[in-house]
Structure 1
């Protein structure tokens, strides 16, 4: 049996990605110098990325990407970046009681960061034990992974522009790639420019609240740290209480930016180009906003009626308090629907009715072309339209009825792709939940079905928090290392939308 894929090309370009990863590592290194903290972990990681990157590049001096090589490159690049991203955690925690000193915990945290999942093995005590530099690296991994590492490489490296469309399609969240300009590299630059601009504006607003006295603990460090994790819908926070640690003014400011992050960034480009009608006419965006409004309204009514007796210091008491009910509901729905994972209240203490609403939000996901995770709104629209068509054609078998979105006919191959993805997503989610529950039981623990399902959904959907001990102020530390490695795999395939990773495990990918 002969391998018919040029894997050297894929590894060589992975080396290029690793080499350039040394540049963002300068950010936590600078933070360490400012706060007079240890720098060895970051200096060593920078040296490692450059050395390994150069070594891999030598495998293929003139890489030429075809379809399969591109898919392999995207998949292994994300895995390699997560592995390298874990190195500073291990080195910084070496010889200490740090949770991240263990390689599996470090890999879990790194993969969760780059895939913008937001699941963590750090608890309240663990967060306090780490330096400003380590925590800033943790935040920065989410910002790098939000719009996409490969999209960034396509934007800045001319050697990737030739195969850019295939690369971006393999990495971009959603079933379709919308080219904003004839050149894919220019499209990638536009997307990253919009992403960068929103991040800067958001950081300025957060720090402005601090200067105005409306957010006493939102200093420059916290403003930058949360700027790095809101726009990528990541959810990591240096604060153990997440956004509950900040004032109501901060919480109201975060909500619209989470919604922006879950919106197709291509729509913003059209608006900046004077095509304002694109927002109104886009069926996915209308469904996205409608889902947020409907679920937030329903949850607000539940909270106002007194179904959330959470701790008062975390802003959880909402019974009879209209503003708090509206804020808590809007925040949690926006956070979980877009897969951000921030929290302003311990929703583990909420009623079963409130949790069910949140579970629905977790299943929806953001828009295609956004930084949000989950199944994506556009896929659910197509699934519902297919179901409606099947019901109609059951009584009218002679009628040919195409699927339409926004007045345009959706190609039947695209419809089959959406149905196939949705089935695989739900199947893997269910099997993984069973494996997680069995593995937890094997170690002598007991896990409720809702906790197992939420652990699987939170990782494959890149959402972060779940229910039970996985709540918004909880941790994944209790899981055995085998389950953590399974969830690392779930986060990996969830971020790349399953196909680019699972196809690597088929014989036909390598030999035909």
Structure 2
């Protein structure tokens, strides 16, 4: 068999991406200098990252990307940055009893960060246990992975911009990538500019609440840290109780930004160009808003009636309180629908009906072109229309009925891709759930079926928290290492929408 893929080109450009990743490490290094803790950790990490990047670049001094090499590059680069992102965790905890001192746990935390999953294996989240710099790096990994590492590199590296459209199509969530300008590098810069500005606005808004006395513990550090994980729909927090640690005004501020994070970022370009009709008339956005409204209404009524009797100190009570029921219901629906994973209360203690509605939100997902995970609203719309067409053609076999969305006819290749992706997604989800159940039984773990289901969907959907012991204030620490390795794989393929990674394991990809 002759290998058709020029893997050297992909490895070389992966090295370039790793080399430039080192620039992001200077931010936690600066924080380490301010707090005088873990300075050497980030200095050594920067040296290792640059060295590995330079060595990989030498594999092919003049790389040329073709379609298969582009697919390999995206998959390799995401796995490589997760490995490099784990180095600070290992260096900071060497010789300690921290859970992050184990390489698998460190890789789990790093992959969860870059893929914006938000699942954690940390034994304790506090600045007493871990430095401000290390926790900020944990937050930054989600911010870097939110809009996309490849999109960022295309915005700053001319040699990647040549094949930029294909690279972004492979990396971006959703069936189609929307090109905003004739030059792909300019599109990448616009997307990152929108992302950056929204992050700044959120950080200023959160810290503003602190300045006026409405959020005493929302310090400048916390404001920046949470803005780094809200826009990428990540969900990491330096607070062990997530957003339940903050006041109601903080929770109300975060809700619209989470809604924004689950919206196609290309739509905000139309707002900048003063074309609001293209935003408001977008079919997917309207469906997204409708799903939020319906699920929030159902969950809000449940909470008002006492579906969450065990909130306690972590969120107060919702029974009989309209504001509290609406706030907690809306927050959790938005957070899990677009895969953010923040929590204002321990929803693992809600009754089973309310939990089922949250599980439904996990399967829906955010919008294509957003930082949200899951199957995506646009795909469910296409599937619904395909199902309706099958019913019509069953009654009228001679009918020709194209699928339309937003006034446009959807190409049959796109429809086939949507159906293929959704089927693969569900098959991998089921297979992973079965493995997690059997593997936990093998080691004598008392894992429930609901916990296994939520672990599988939370990792492949890049959601983070699940139910039971995996609730928003729990962790994945007690899973066997083999299960954690499977979940690392799920987070990786889930962020890249499965096919760009799974295709690497087929002989057809490599054959001439």
TM (normalized to structure 1)? 0.99
Paired residue secondary structure (1:311): coil
Contact map agreement 1:393 1:399 (CA 8 A) in 2: yes
* 1:155 aligned partner: 155
Contact map agreement 2:28 2:136 (CA 8 A) in 1: yes
Contact map agreement 2:116 2:462 (CA 8 A) in 1: yes
Paired residue secondary structure (1:312): coil
1:75-154 equivalences in 2 (<5 Å): 75-124=75-124, 128-154=128-154
Segments ≥4 residues shifted beyond 3 Å: 123-128
* 2:173 aligned partner: 173
* 1:511 aligned partner: 511
* 2:355 aligned partner: 355
Contact map agreement 2:125 2:238 (CA 8 A) in 1: no
CA distance in 2, matches of 1:424, 1:125: 35
* 1:233 aligned partner: 233
- Stretches of structure 1 that go unaligned for 5 or more consecutive residues are none
CA distance in 1, matches of 2:18, 2:125: 32
Q: Give a deviation string over 1:11-66, Cα, whole Å, max 9, x none.
A: 00000000001100001111010011121211111001111111111111111100
Paired residue secondary structure (1:313): coil
Q: Give a deviation string over 1:301-353, Cα, whole Å, max 9, x none.
A: 00001111123211152100111000000000000001000000101111111
The size of the alignment, in residue pairs, is 512
CA distance in 1, matches of 2:128, 2:259: 30
* 1:208 aligned partner: 208
* 1:403 aligned partner: 403
2:457 is the alignment partner of 1:429 = no
CA distance in 2, matches of 1:22, 1:148: 16
CA distance in 2, matches of 1:307, 1:149: 41
Q: Give a deviation string over 1:449-471, Cα, whole Å, max 9, x none.
A: 11101000000000000001000
CA distance in 1, matches of 2:375, 2:5: 30
Paired residue secondary structure (1:254): helix
CA distance in 2, matches of 1:100, 1:172: 30
1:61-460 equivalences in 2 (<5 Å): 61-124=61-124, 128-460=128-460
CA distance in 2, matches of 1:306, 1:100: 38
Q: Give a deviation string over 1:432-481, Cα, whole Å, max 9, x none.
A: 00101111111111211111010000000000000010001000000010
CA distance in 1, matches of 2:403, 2:132: 51
CA distance in 2, matches of 1:55, 1:315: 50
Sort the Cα spacing of 1:125 and 1:109 in 2 relative to 1 into closer, same or farther, 3 A: closer
Paired residue secondary structure (1:466): coil
Q: Give a deviation string over 1:347-404, Cα, whole Å, max 9, x none.
A: 1111111001101110110100000000000000000110111111111111010100
- Stretches of structure 2 that go unaligned for 5 or more consecutive residues are none
Contact map agreement 2:38 2:134 (CA 8 A) in 1: no
Contact map agreement 2:339 2:463 (CA 8 A) in 1: yes
Contact map agreement 1:127 1:240 (CA 8 A) in 2: no
CA distance in 1, matches of 2:210, 2:242: 17
Contact map agreement 1:118 1:462 (CA 8 A) in 2: yes
2:476 is the alignment partner of 1:492 = no
Paired residue secondary structure (2:23): coil
Paired residue secondary structure (2:369): coil
> Aligned Cα RMSD in Å?
0.8
Q: Give a deviation string over 1:104-130, Cα, whole Å, max 9, x none.
A: 000000000000000000244677411
Q: Give a deviation string over 1:401-440, Cα, whole Å, max 9, x none.
A: 0100001000001000000000000110011001011111
1:40-55 equivalences in 2 (<5 Å): 40-55=40-55
Query: Which piece of structure 1 moves more, 473-482 or 37-46?
Result: 37-46
